[in-house]
Amino acid sequence: MMPKTGFSSSDCEQDSIPIQHDIPDESENQFEALTNATIMMVDDEPINIDMVKMFLEEEGYKHFITTHDSTQALDLIANNQPDVVLLDLMMPDVNGFEILQSIRADKQLKRTPVIILTSSTDADTKLKALRLGANDFLGKPVDPSELVLRIRNTLAAKVYQDRLAYFDALTNLPNRKTFMSHLDWSLRRAKLDNLSGAVLKLDLDRFKDVNDTLGSDVGDMLLKEISQRLKESIRCSDTVGWFGKDKSKTSLCRIGGNEFSVLFPEIKHIEDIEPIAQRILQAIEPPCHPRQHELYITISIGISVFPQDGSDINTLIKHADIAISHAKQQGGNNFQFYSDEINNQSVEQLKLTNQLRKASDRKELELFYQPKVDANTGKITGAEALMRWNHPKLGLVSPGIFIPLAEKSGLLPDLDDWAFHTTCQQLIDWQTSGLSPIPVSVNVTSQSFRNGRVVKTVREALKITGLDPKYIKLELTESTIMDNAEENIKLLYRLKDLGIKLSIDDFGTGYSSLSYLNRFPLDELKIDQSFISGILTESSNLVIVKAIIAMAHSLGLHVIAEGVETNEQLTTIQDLNCTEYQGYLFSKPIPSKDFQKLRNIEESE
């Protein structure tokens, strides 16, 4: 039975929700699931009601709502949302035609199946009921087998319709419509009964990359696997049930492409949500294997709590979205509660993102160059191009701030294109000014790499500038090329075929598979600066750096240490046979003019 809500369905803007308990899967016993249905009977003669109820109880049906007072019928239907109504036509006060008409006119109830009970054999009566939207007829006196058959067929049709309307075909989870309806219901009940609840919005990190690179069928399989894990992780909770008619239980829905939601209609303490969010993150952690691909997927969770964070649907969803964005900014794979502070930050970031959109046209972007240095001779061997944003008010904004914004807003591939073109042109300009050419590295993010866009960028920039490709190097982080490594091999070869060099950046932070490293056409390996910064203080760092250098050499890769800040660090890496470094010890990233001066001095020595 539905809990009593104290408000009628006509208050509710949302469509009615599916009324079967668990919508049965093909594998489940369909008939057993149908007997969970709630059957309503409206007949002015109590004896008829008792007879029908008795027949149906013998068939296993358990949930009945009955009335012989036809004036009560509509309210009862609205408050209980039965799965099927057995409706007598000839009744005093309000007759069956009028009730049927009202049901069909009500936004919430109009889909409720109605079977007309009538002793009339008159065709006009039946036609009139049909025109008003009756689903079926049953002659009086009721024949038990006919009754059971009609009920079963009507319910089976309803289950099918509910599945289409309220469930997501891919994952079998309730869909957005159902979520909205449940949330609406929960908010109303919370208001009346002074309850608190929570909305969790879950968003798969980088799902678009999977769809773009591996195709939507792999994406679909991934979503199915993830939804199964979500289901299990939420089911484990003892506070949580599986929703159906009982809307007071927690429900998991798929509300968009890669978006899910969990609704907790009733929570005692906000802190109770934390372990559940934690469990969801853990459930997603192990690799997924759609069509033999091994994918490490993470999820970001945004949480808004009612009534604190909003008492209407739109505000709560908006606030959960803001919390998700915050979770994504923290690198994904975490959960965040909405707060005013997050909200203010998000407003600021939105402003900054809009300004970033125009930064390139306004010539506010600039590349700085950080020298790469020969560890033994101290001579400049190359450089890395690093982007800076000259913000009119904020001054020099670091990529640590604007790259994540660009990534989130889809601007990053454009920025990467710009950096690559600009670097190629800079190299030509330096050569024209008389400097001997040295290789310069440009960073490429996974967003530009995964969909192969980088190949086009490199080809076009080389063609336009006429630069010899051997002087340009792409830096790709370890995680960019290890995620979906098999596919990336082809992409890396396409880049290599253009004559450029390839470097694996931030090495040691991801989980490289040695067999893949061997198969990638790489030229250089950059040891992540976190290992160099602790190389003198933590013995494990020294051991790791030593192992990385030995491995790089055995794979025939050139190895370079990042983030060298002190002479002691330099001596240590020299002792380990690392012959090149980059770091503040020699120079911070500097504007192109300064870099040119530095090189001019060196060349004139």
**Going along 134-273, which residue ranges are E strands?**
136-139, 196-204, 251-254, 259-267
CA dihedral 536, 539, 545, 546 (to 10 degrees): 110
Shorter beta-carbon distance to ligand C2E: residue 168 or 475: 475
Rounded to the nearest 5 degrees, what angle is found at the Cα of 554, between the Cα atoms of 550 and 555?
A: 120
Residue 244 site contact among ligand C2E, Ca ion, none (CB < 5 to 8 Å, cut-off depends on kind): none
Quote the least distance from Cβ 488 to Ca ion, whole Å.
17
20 binds Ca ion, rule: CB under 5 A: no
395 binds ligand C2E, rule: CB under 6 A: no
Residue 2 site contact among ligand C2E, Ca ion, none (CB < 5 to 8 Å, cut-off depends on kind): none
C-alpha dist (Å) from residue 591 to 381, 419, 429, 596: 17, 14, 14, 9
9 binds ligand C2E, rule: CB under 6 A: no
Quote the least distance from Cβ 506 to ligand C2E, whole Å.
6
Only one residue has tokens 């219901």, namely 185
Per DSSP, the residues of 10-44 read GG--SPPPP-SSSPPPTTS-HHHHHTTSEEEEE-S
- Six-digit token pair at 413? 């591939």
Identify the residue among 88, 106, 168, 475 touching Ca ion (CB under 5 A).
Answer: 475
Quote the least distance from Cβ 249 to Ca ion, whole Å.
48
Per DSSP, the residues of 271-309 read GGHHHHHHHHHHHH-SPB-GGG--B---EEEEEEEETTT
Shorter beta-carbon distance to Ca ion: residue 162 or 506: 506
**Going along 184-229, which residue ranges are E strands?**
196-204
β-pairing verdict for 365-374 and 580-582: antiparallel
Neighbours of 502 (CB within 10 A): 21
**Site map 539..578 versus Ca ion, x via CB under 5 A:** -----------------------x----------------
Residues touching ligand C2E, count (CB under 6 A): 23
Instruction: Judge whether 527 and 559 are in contact, CB under 8 Å.
Output: yes
Shorter beta-carbon distance to Ca ion: residue 80 or 529: 529
Instruction: Judge whether 230 and 339 are in contact, CB under 8 Å.
Output: no
Query: Residue type for 98, please?
Result: E
Quote the least distance from Cβ 443 to Ca ion, whole Å.
5
478 binds Ca ion, rule: CB under 5 A: no
Residue 87, helix vs strand vs coil: strand
Question: By beta-carbon distance, which residue lies closest to Ca ion?
Answer: 475
Identify the residue among 43, 88, 203, 416 touching ligand C2E (CB under 6 A).
Answer: 416
Quote the least distance from Cβ 564 to ligand C2E, whole Å.
6
As a whole number of Å, the CA-based R_g of the chain is 33
Shorter beta-carbon distance to Ca ion: residue 303 or 427: 427
Instruction: Judge whether 112 and 85 are in contact, CB under 8 Å.
Output: yes
Report the C-alpha gap between 129 and 122 in whole angstroms: 11
Q: Who's near 284: CB < 8 A, 6+ residues apart?
A: 226, 229, 230, 297, 298, 299
Instruction: Judge whether 222 and 210 are in contact, CB under 8 Å.
Output: yes
User: In this structure, is the dihedral angle defined by the CA atoms of residues 586, 590, 594 and 595, taken in order, positive or negative?
Assistant: positive
Shorter beta-carbon distance to ligand C2E: residue 87 or 467: 467
426-445: contacts with Ca ion (CB under 5 A) = 443
Quote the least distance from Cβ 393 to ligand C2E, whole Å.
20
Shorter beta-carbon distance to ligand C2E: residue 419 or 557: 419
Shorter beta-carbon distance to ligand C2E: residue 5 or 443: 443
Report the C-alpha gap between 334 and 114 in whole angstroms: 48
What phi, psi does 392 have (nearest 5°)? -55, -30
Report the C-alpha gap between 89 and 118 in whole angstroms: 6
501-520: contacts with ligand C2E (CB under 6 A) = 505-506
Quote the least distance from Cβ 585 to ligand C2E, whole Å.
7
Identify the residue among 136, 205, 417, 505 touching Ca ion (CB under 5 A).
Answer: 505
Residues touching Ca ion, count (CB under 5 A): 5
Residue 211 site contact among ligand C2E, Ca ion, none (CB < 5 to 8 Å, cut-off depends on kind): none
Quote the least distance from Cβ 500 to Ca ion, whole Å.
15
Identify the residue among 246, 259, 460, 565 touching ligand C2E (CB under 6 A).
Answer: 565
Identify the residue among 71, 216, 398, 539 touching ligand C2E (CB under 6 A).
Answer: 398
The stretch among 85-93, 277-285, 352-360, 397-405 that binds ligand C2E (CB under 6 A) is: 397-405
233 binds ligand C2E, rule: CB under 6 A: no
518-557: contacts with ligand C2E (CB under 6 A) = 529
Residue 154 site contact among Ca ion, ligand C2E, none (CB < 5 to 8 Å, cut-off depends on kind): none
Q: Rounded to the nearest 10 degrees, what angle do helices 216-235 and 207-214 cross at?
A: 140
Report the C-alpha gap between 335 and 330 in whole angstroms: 9
**Site map 362..391 versus ligand C2E, x via CB under 6 A:** --------x---------------xx----
Neighbours of 52 (CB within 10 A): 23
Instruction: Judge whether 502 and 522 are in contact, CB under 8 Å.
Output: yes
The stretch among 12-20, 209-217, 511-519, 579-587 that binds ligand C2E (CB under 6 A) is: 579-587
Residue 419 site contact among ligand C2E, Ca ion, none (CB < 5 to 8 Å, cut-off depends on kind): ligand C2E
Only one residue has tokens 């809990």, namely 3
Quote the least distance from Cβ 501 to ligand C2E, whole Å.
15
Binding site for Ca ion (CB under 5 A): 443, 475, 505-506, 562
Binding site for ligand C2E (CB under 6 A): 370, 386-387, 398-400, 403, 416, 419, 443-445, 475, 505-506, 529, 563-565, 582-584, 589
